[in-house]
């Protein structure tokens, strides 16, 4: 029995609810949105699919209906417009997230809280600061999606199944994110060794063009269709599965850092073991000098956004 409440059922929240339904991750899903009619329409639409999915109770509700949830998800708020960066959203969304946290405070109980609203690292920090719960129970979707995009592009380049490829993006979910090239492994082989025997010739600037492609992919999708929903929802449903099933999966969620990589009092993505308690453990992966500098830069970017929000 697991209950998931989603606050904000726009393009991301509704697709996430659908992913949870078809993956059979929860037995109860509560949809909360300031646009109640939209939430009700989404609930009805999903209920019509129940004949084809694992059994789950799906309904709209108020904040009080979120009581006794195993997991609360915040996906409410404005999204990036084609001409703006995620950081531009900060003030608007911080106000919305704080308002939601005030409403949820009495009902949070032992729930884990997962934040998707952008800029997600800043919103995760807002949640950590405004809720009286241990920080390991507050997670941001962070760079789980970015890591998936990195793997996808690498798998295409190297012509290997992405499931046999380990690659992480850490830092900010945004322009300053850091690609951990030094930690890429394919079938247990470091990328450098893998490339030595490879028949596909990569140019010297292959890495930087692949980084650019991954970094721009969210903007590219928003430019063409106005929003992103599928990739992010599947990435978040993966995090939810890890929590509800206590899978202890290594995922680059955004979490409060308190000394890791000499960073403190900031939420950023780093590889974490994610399980029933939320963030079970942070893994301090060895970084190259360039990656370390990149992470410091990412922390400065997010830190200055928090300061200005």
Residue 196, Cβ density class (10 Å: 0-12 exposed, 13-18 middle, ≥19 buried): exposed
Cα distance between residue 309 and residue 306, in whole Å: 5
Cα distance between residue 133 and residue 193, in whole Å: 45
Cα distance between residue 256 and residue 22, in whole Å: 31
Hey, which residues between 57 and 96 contact ligand NAD (CB under 6 A)?
75-80, 93, 96
Nearest to ligand NAD by Cβ — which residue? 10
Any contact of residue 38 with ligand NAD (CB under 6 A)?
A: yes
Cα distance between residue 163 and residue 288, in whole Å: 24
Per-state percent for the chain, helix, strand, coil, to nearest 5: 50, 20, 30
Cis previous bond, 119, omega within 30: yes
Determine which residue in the list 4, 6, 58, 100 makes contact with ligand NAD, applying CB under 6 A.
Answer: 100
Closest CB to ligand NAD among residues 147, 228: 228
Stretch that binds ligand NAD, among 110-118, 154-162, 201-209, 239-247 (CB under 6 A): 110-118
Closest CB to ligand NAD among residues 37, 289: 37
SS3 label, residue 227 = coil
Closest CB to ligand NAD among residues 72, 76: 76
* Catalytic residue positions, numbered: 173
Residue 267, Cβ density class (10 Å: 0-12 exposed, 13-18 middle, ≥19 buried): buried
Cα distance between residue 208 and residue 235, in whole Å: 24
Shortest spacing between CB 261 and ligand NAD, in angstroms: 21
Shortest spacing between CB 88 and ligand NAD, in angstroms: 10
Closest CB to ligand NAD among residues 77, 241: 77
Hey, which residues between 225 and 264 contact ligand NAD (CB under 6 A)?
227-228, 232
Any contact of residue 42 with ligand NAD (CB under 6 A)?
A: no
Shortest spacing between CB 87 and ligand NAD, in angstroms: 11
Shortest spacing between CB 143 and ligand NAD, in angstroms: 8
Cα distance between residue 141 and residue 144, in whole Å: 6
Interface ranges with ligand NAD (CB under 6 A): 7-13, 33-35, 38, 75-80, 93, 96, 99-100, 116-118, 120, 141, 145, 173, 227-228, 232
């Amino acid at each position: 029995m697991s209950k998931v409440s989603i606050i904000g059922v726009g393009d991301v929240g509704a697709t996430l609810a659908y992913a949870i339904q078809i993956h059979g991750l929860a037995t109860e899903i509560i949809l909360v949105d300031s646009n109640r009619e939209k939430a009700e329409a989404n609930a009805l639409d999903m209920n019509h699919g129940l004949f084809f999915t694992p059994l789950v109770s799906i309904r709209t509700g108020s904040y009080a209906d979120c009581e006794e949830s195993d997991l609360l998800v915040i996906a409410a708020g404005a999204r990036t417009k084609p001409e703006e960066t995620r950081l531009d959203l900060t003030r608007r969304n911080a106000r919305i997230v704080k308002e939601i946290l005030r409403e949820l405070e009495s009902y949070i109980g032992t729930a884990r809280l997962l934040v998707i609203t952008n800029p997600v690292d800043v919103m995760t920090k807002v949640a950590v600061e405004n809720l009286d719960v241990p920080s390991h129970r507050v997670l941001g979707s962070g760079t789980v999606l970015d890591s998936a995009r990195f793997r996808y592009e690498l798998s295409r380049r190297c012509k290997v199944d992405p499931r046999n490829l380990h690659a992480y993006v850490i830092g900010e979910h945004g322009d300053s994110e850091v690609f951990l090239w030094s930690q890429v492994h394919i079938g247990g082989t470091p990328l450098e060794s893998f490339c030595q025997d490879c028949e596909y010739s990569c140019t010297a600037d292959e890495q930087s063009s692949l980084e650019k492609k991954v970094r721009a992919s969210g903007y590219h999708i928003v430019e063409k269709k106005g929003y992103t929903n599928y990739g992010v929802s599947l990435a978040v449903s993966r995090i939810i599965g890890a929590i509800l099933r206590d899978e202890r999966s290594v995922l680059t969620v955004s979490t409060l850092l308190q000394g890791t990589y000499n960073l403190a009092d900031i939420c950023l993505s780093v590889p974490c073991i994610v399980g029933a308690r939320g963030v079970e453990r942070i893994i301090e992966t060895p970084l190259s000098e360039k990656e370390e500098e990149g992470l410091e830069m990412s922390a400065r970017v997010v830190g200055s956004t928090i300061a200005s929000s």
